[in-house]
Homo-oligomer: A and B are copies of this chain.
Amino acid sequence: MRHLQTLRLIEAVARAGSIRKAAEDMAITSSALNRRITGFEDEFGYPIFERLPRGVRLNPAGELLIQHIRAQTSDLERVRGQVADLSGERRGHVSIACSQALQPYFMPEQISAYRREHPGVSFSVHVRDRASAEEDLSNFRSDLALVVEPVYLAEFEVLFALQQPIHAVMAADHPLAARAELRLRDCLAGPHVVPTSPYGVRHLLEISVRGRSMRLSPSLEADSFEFMRHYVLHEGAVGFQIPVGLKDGPEVVSRPISVRDVAPAHLLLGQMRGRTLPVAPARFAHQLQATLAAMAEATGAGATGAPVR
């Protein structure tokens, strides 16, 4: 799309922070790029960058504009996908931001299932904590987000919500593994490992201990659930995770913690508010909804859905 070239260049400059750097990225000379920027500002009527001694930065007008540019670029992609769709072929790209819990089992299964039906659709997966997942949505870096306990719900339009009780994760021979359901107090009595604070599970644990006679005193904090899942084997410690990110094996098992102690985690599927998704992301969202609804059905957990626009 050549008519978008100037807009792409503007975005590159905003990203690089300097015209010369952006020029290198985009493989043109800085003079040419500079003239395109100033030329655009002239016909736009207002400057969009403020000139600093060491480069440029978007001014408020530029922030407004860059948002438009991103929306516009992504919308053209949506149109192209719809056109491809009515030519019979389903192709396109799905970009999804998701919590780490979905990394090992859920997302790989879902994506490969979708790609079996539509091999022309490619994916990009961004593992994000709950705050930056939403940021990805508003920057059009991701079409969808599947997050545990999102933070700012302003720009986040919920497509489906599923509750999952927090599970304790431990070695199969851990004493607590004998029980079917655990109390939080018992989990915290021994050595335990918890995620770092940006994560939803940690957030829920913090809330649970607050105002009670319990305290998190983790022997290990980590931002990798995968790491923690392996670590519990070595120290006989207890970790925490939601069931969607778990699969009991011969070595590691998980047991639910009573919802009297820890509120269930909300797993939310969402998109940017008001945006019309391209065909492929919309259909993939449908598939996710269906899968999550089936999981809710199976476990009796609360779930609510909304149609994907």
Contacts and interface: CB of A to CB of B under 8 A. Distances in A.
A61 B46 contact: no
Interface in A26-84: 43-46, 60-61, 64-65, 67-68, 71-72, 75-76, 79-80, 82-84
Nearest to A75: B68
A7 interface: yes
Given A3-B7, A44-B1, A68 B76 contact: yes
What's the number of copies of this chain in the assembled complex?
2
A53 B60 CA distance: 51
A72 B276 CA distance: 13
Contacts of A44: 1, 80
A186 B76 CA distance: 59
Contacts of A82: 64
Contacts of A75: 68, 71-72
Interface string A1-30: 111111100000000000000000000000
A86 interface: yes
A274 interface: yes
A87 interface: yes
A4 B3 contact: yes
A110 to B, nearest CB: 28
A102 to B, nearest CB: 29
Contacts of A45: 80, 83-84
List the 4 closest A-B pairs by CB distance, nearest first: A61-B83, A68-B79, A3-B3, A3-B6
Given A3-B3, A3-B7, 16 more contacts: A1-B43, A1-B44, A2-B43, A3-B4, A3-B6, A45-B84, A60-B86, A61-B83, A61-B87, A64-B79, A64-B82, A64-B83, A64-B86, A68-B75, A68-B76, A72-B76
